Amino acid sequence: MKTQPIVKFHLSKLAEAYQELLKIRSSVDEHGIIAVEIFHGIEKEFKYLRELEEPSSAQVKSLEKRLIQLKHYLQQFDRYSQLSKSFFQKITSQIDSQILQSSYSYLAAKNRARQLFEDFRDGRYFDIGLQKGVDQLRHFIDLFRAKMPSLNTQVPIGDLDIFQPIRQNSDEEFDLKDYLSKQIDTSPNKISVDRIKQIKDGYYYLYSKSLAYQIQGKEHKLAKRLTLLETGLRKQNEQVIYKALRLIQQLVQPTAITSPTNYINTQQKLIKLTGISEPDSTIILRINNNRPLRVVVDQDQNFVFEDIELQFGDNTLICYNQDFLFLDNHKYHLHIHLERHYPFIGMYDPLTQKAFQENEAQIIVRCKICKNYEYDFSVEENNNRCVFPKCDGKEFWNWEDREYWSEQ
């Protein structure tokens, strides 16, 4: 029995559905800056299937699935941009920025909105969608609005407050489309030079690992896929490169952070970050642009950073797998808010009997023996010894030491 005409018919129906999707796109994303590579990939897939003598029904089905995902993705973006438009612009024109900057729910909403925009732009999380992230944004906005009257406005997305930092750095009139076209390469069939270099570095790294296996008479699980990647890189064939990356990705445990939750408030100065990733690979963690920390993932796919030190207020933690970053170039951005918490509040200096104030951290020390707090000048007064009865401690932590802030 010949089923081929049905498949071809199905394909032509899908092409019509895609035209409908393009209409949705032009209404929710008029500049066409969202998930450009995904659209491009789908178009190539259409072209490829049309040229086939006999496209299989599985191929057509898989294309259909992607079209459905794309529709949801665009709907999620639409919801995101409606939310952002109706919130940020009006808020910044009505409420003093000082007040906004001190509102945690406002900052969380702003960070979430910025991150979501980048995710949509790069087509990230296409398979699972960004519904959850948009829900989260809604949640932060609702939290903020609980105290504010309802606000509505219609403004271009590029005018939003969340793009302020970019605007400030551009000399001319800010144009979002311009900005993004400089940031991402939207031309078809071309991966940026930096991206190619990153993929190459990733390839060499894995290749050296696989070579080490070979010498021991074993085969690295990625060996065959690396050969494909090498071919793609050598021929500079984008399709082959992306195919190889996808295939490698299937065999590598994706990196995920299990704790802490993004956008939490905490009272703890020292926290622990845990997650899962590919065994034996290296995870990098960068806190507020400090020197990066690194750990190796254990055989059970777990990794942990102990005693991460937070600053008061907002903290940005950037976490990624160094070895496999080249696969999707994705870094986790966590925003953790350390609420003001001073362990010495409510206590008194033993010598002066004065209650400690928040802003005195730099002149308060903590005894290493009895763990009590006292003014540094009280210690000086006491021949550089702890003032507490029967302690006699001679060593102290100051506000720059971790132990100074701990609860014990």
Question: Is 404 one of the binding residues for Zn ion (CB under 5 A)?
Answer: no
Three-state DSSP state, 40? helix
Q: Which is nearer to Zn ion, 38 or 370 (CB)?
A: 370
Candidates 166-174, 206-214, 376-384, 386-394: pick the segment binding Zn ion (CB under 5 A): 386-394
Q: Which is nearer to Zn ion, 182 or 390 (CB)?
A: 390
Question: Is 196 one of the binding residues for Zn ion (CB under 5 A)?
Answer: no
Decide: 308 and 270 in contact? Cβ < 8 Å.
Answer: yes
Candidates 43-51, 178-186, 297-305, 365-373: pick the segment binding Zn ion (CB under 5 A): 365-373
Q: Which two three-digit tokens encode residue 64? A: 């259909």
How many amino acids of this chain bind Zn ion (CB under 5 A)?
Answer: 7
In 130-251, which residue ranges form alpha helices assigned H by DSSP?
131-145, 164-169, 176-183, 193-215, 223-235, 238-251
Rounded CA gap, 318 and 306, in Å?
Answer: 15
Torsion, CA 138, CA 144, CA 149, CA 154, rounded to 10: -50
Q: Which is nearer to Zn ion, 244 or 367 (CB)?
A: 367
CB 402 to Zn ion: min, Å:
18
Candidates 173-181, 270-278, 367-375, 397-405: pick the segment binding Zn ion (CB under 5 A): 367-375
CB 148 to Zn ion: min, Å:
49
Three-state DSSP state, 326? helix
Site for Zn ion in 83-102 (CB under 5 A): none
Selected binder of Zn ion within 242, 262, 391, 398 (CB under 5 A): 391
CB 389 to Zn ion: min, Å:
9
Question: Is 365 one of the binding residues for Zn ion (CB under 5 A)?
Answer: no
Rounded alpha-carbon distances, angstroms, from residue 272 to 49, 295, 311, 336, 383: 49, 13, 14, 12, 38
Q: Which is nearer to Zn ion, 219 or 392 (CB)?
A: 392
Selected binder of Zn ion within 257, 386, 404, 405 (CB under 5 A): 386
Q: Which is nearer to Zn ion, 133 or 393 (CB)?
A: 393
Selected binder of Zn ion within 226, 319, 367, 379 (CB under 5 A): 367
Would you list the DSSP string of 84-153?
HHHHHHHHHHHS-HHHHHT-HHHHHHHHHHHHHHHHHHHTTTTTT-SHHHHHHHHHHHHHHHTTS-----
Please name the residues in contact with 116: beta carbons below 8 A apart, sequence gap of 6 or more.
80, 130, 133, 134, 137
Question: Is 229 one of the binding residues for Zn ion (CB under 5 A)?
Answer: no
Question: Is 283 one of the binding residues for Zn ion (CB under 5 A)?
Answer: no
Question: Taking the CA of residue 333 as centre, how many other CA atoms within 13 Å lie in the half-sphere pointing to its CB?
Answer: 15
Selected binder of Zn ion within 55, 393, 404, 405 (CB under 5 A): 393
Q: Which is nearer to Zn ion, 343 or 393 (CB)?
A: 393
Torsion, CA 203, CA 208, CA 211, CA 215, rounded to 10: -170
Q: Which is nearer to Zn ion, 165 or 389 (CB)?
A: 389
Residue with structure tokens 């991206």? 195
CB 357 to Zn ion: min, Å:
21
Rounded CA gap, 261 and 132, in Å?
Answer: 13
Q: Which is nearer to Zn ion, 265 or 384 (CB)?
A: 384
Q: Which is nearer to Zn ion, 309 or 401 (CB)?
A: 401
Q: Which is nearer to Zn ion, 355 or 369 (CB)?
A: 369
* C-alpha dihedral sign at 215, 219, 220, 222: positive
CB 365 to Zn ion: min, Å:
10
Rounded CA gap, 152 and 181, in Å?
Answer: 29
User: Residues, the chain, total?
Assistant: 408
Selected binder of Zn ion within 388, 396, 404, 405 (CB under 5 A): 388
Question: Is 347 one of the binding residues for Zn ion (CB under 5 A)?
Answer: no
Strand order in the sheet with 270-276: 256-259, 270-276, 302-309
Selected binder of Zn ion within 52, 251, 345, 369 (CB under 5 A): 369
Q: Binding residues for Zn ion, per CB under 5 A?
A: 367, 369-370, 386, 388, 391, 393
